[in-house]
């Protein structure tokens, strides 16, 4: 990091302190408070870390006001429209888009690591059949460190590389097996002649009794879902991965921690919440009722899948996802699925209503991805595991960047203590 040329003055009890100001390539300036406690004996107070930069990064940048999401400088809509998931994985991991030879080598390495150690099948069978797939994924991914000892030494760049490829390659297999286990069907092993998204769909929906051909429209839609969820800057799960990594934990434990955080409904469960809302609406004739409720400030009902806490204008991923949603629904139809009928008519009603336009409550990526996954036949319990599968490359890229950072320190947030002070146990004895 270059030396700061700008400073802010902070005055505490009449004494002034100079705080360095750093200017990023994009985004707001940052006050450096690393020496504040040592110099002034005070902490800053920022619940949720909403005004705190915990690291510097070159991977992803978000401008919520402008509706901008960049991966290594490339806009997400361009990547989703012109590229594919494994090419974006390469970009996130290594900083540049690959040459044809580099991409072929990368895809080959990922493809040849998709199988799981056969003994890991015992982990799946140890769960109840009604276990949530995310519970299974947290356990199985964390257990990978017990099987792949040759890629847990975080001080070895080659072992970090092997762990990265293994996690990207094996996550679709783990997610698909978690799904198969919960529905009582036999596991389907990966095939090396299929692309990443097609392989995942086959592992989820193929059965031994008949052949399964992956429809290219569904495969492309799934690849776009993966691409549009690959990374999203310093969100809750990414910060969890970085915090776990700061202690020196192995990569499999760190990614398992990210999966656990993503499981929370305030984070990875948004598209599941969207489908649950559509189920609550039930039929298209009830849409006006729920539109009215969404406008009523005194009604707790909210339209899930509309607007975004980060993107204050529009979600740049939503336009691309809508294209895939339209293609999938045209292919599979909505006539026999009342939930998809509600989704299409709700989208049209909200887009035509000035209230939602004025408040910039447009359908976001979770709305459209939920529709696509529902149409494909995935239960809502699989929505978050698919999100975790897609986000794995973002977590790994952030983890690799952090490990290589010479400024790396163990994460140790401070607190504003408001509890009792200096109580005497003898007070209890003398009651």
Active site residues: 308, 366
Give the Cα separation of 57 and 162 in Å (integer): 22
Record the tokens describing residue 381, joined without a space: 């319990």
Please list, residue by residue across 77-92, b when 16 or more beta carbons sit within 10 angstroms of its beta carbon and e when fewer do.
Answer: bebbeebbbbbbbbbb
Strands 15-22 and 6-12: antiparallel
Nearest to 204 by CA among 169, 184, 176: 176
Closest C-alpha to 191, from 173, 177, 164: 173
Terminal CA-to-CA distance of the chain, rounded, Å? 59
DSSP element (H, E) containing 16: strand 15-22
Tell me the C-alpha distance between 218 and 201, whole Å.
9
Q: Is 335 exposed, middle or buried (0-12, 13-18, 19+ CB in 10 A)?
A: exposed
**In whole angstroms, what is the distance from residue 391 CA to residue 251 CA?**
14
Give CA–CA dist 213/206, Å, rounded.
8
Burial of 263 (0-12, 13-18, 19+ CB in 10 A): buried
Tokens of 379: 């239960």
Output DSSP code: residue 151: G
Q: Which residues pair with 6 in a beta bridge?
A: 21
CA angle 329-304-297, nearest 5°?
A: 140
Strand partners, 9: 18
Q: How far is CA 88 from CA 59, 61, 80, in A?
A: 11, 15, 9
Residue 104 CB neighbours (<10 A) = 11
CB contact set of 226 (below 8 Å; sequence gap of 6+): 85, 196, 197, 389, 390
């Amino acid at each position: 990091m270059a030396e700061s040329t700008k400073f802010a003055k902070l005055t505490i009890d009449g004494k002034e302190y100079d705080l360095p100001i750093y200017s990023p390539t994009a985004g707001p300036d940052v006050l450096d408070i690393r020496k504040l406690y040592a110099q002034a004996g005070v902490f800053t107070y920022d619940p949720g870390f909403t005004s705190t930069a915990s690291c510097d990064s070159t991977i992803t940048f978000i401008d919520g006001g402008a509706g901008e999401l960049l991966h290594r400088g490339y806009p997400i809509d361009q990547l989703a429209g012109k590229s594919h998931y494994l090419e974006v994985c390469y970009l996130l991991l290594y900083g540049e888009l690959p040459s044809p030879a580099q991409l072929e080598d990368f895809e080959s390495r990922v493809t040849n690591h998709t199988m799981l150690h056969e003994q890991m099948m015992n982990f799946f069978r140890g769960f109840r059949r009604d276990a949530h797939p995310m519970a299974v994924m947290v356990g199985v991914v964390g257990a990978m460190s017990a099987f792949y000892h040759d890629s847990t030494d975080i001080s070895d760049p080659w072992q970090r590389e092997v762990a990265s490829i293994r996690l990207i390659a094996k996550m679709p297999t783990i997610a698909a097996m978690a799904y198969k286990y919960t529905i009582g069907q036999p596991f389907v092993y990966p095939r090396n002649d299929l692309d990443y998204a097609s392989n995942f769909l086959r592992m989820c929906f193929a059965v031994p009794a008949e052949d399964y051909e992956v429809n290219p429209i569904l495969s492309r839609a799934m690849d776009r879902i993966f691409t549009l969820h690959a990374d999203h800057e310093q969100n809750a799960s990414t910060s969890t991965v970085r915090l776990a990594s700061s202690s020196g934990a192995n990569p499999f434990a760190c990614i398992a921690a990210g999966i656990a955080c993503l499981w929370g409904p305030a984070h990875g469960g948004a598209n599941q919440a969207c489908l649950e809302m559509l189920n609550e609406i039930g039929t298209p004739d009830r849409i006006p009722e729920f539109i009215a409720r969404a406008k009523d400030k005194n009604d707790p009902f909210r339209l899930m899948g509309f607007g975004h806490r980060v993107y204050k204008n529009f979600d740049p991923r939503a336009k691309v996802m809508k294209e895939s949603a339209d293609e999938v629904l045209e292919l599979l139809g909505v006539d026999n699925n009342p939930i998809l009928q509600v989704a299409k008519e709700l989208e049209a009603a909200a887009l035509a209503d000035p209230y939602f336009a004025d408040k910039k409550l447009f359908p976001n990526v979770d709305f459209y991805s939920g529709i696509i996954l529902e149409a494909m036949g995935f239960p809502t319990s699989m929505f978050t595991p698919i999100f975790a599968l897609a986000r794995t490359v973002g977590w790994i890229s952030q983890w690799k960047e952090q490990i290589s950072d010479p400024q790396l320190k163990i994460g140790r947030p401070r607190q504003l203590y408001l509890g009792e002070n200096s109580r005497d146990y003898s007070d209890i004895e003398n009651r």
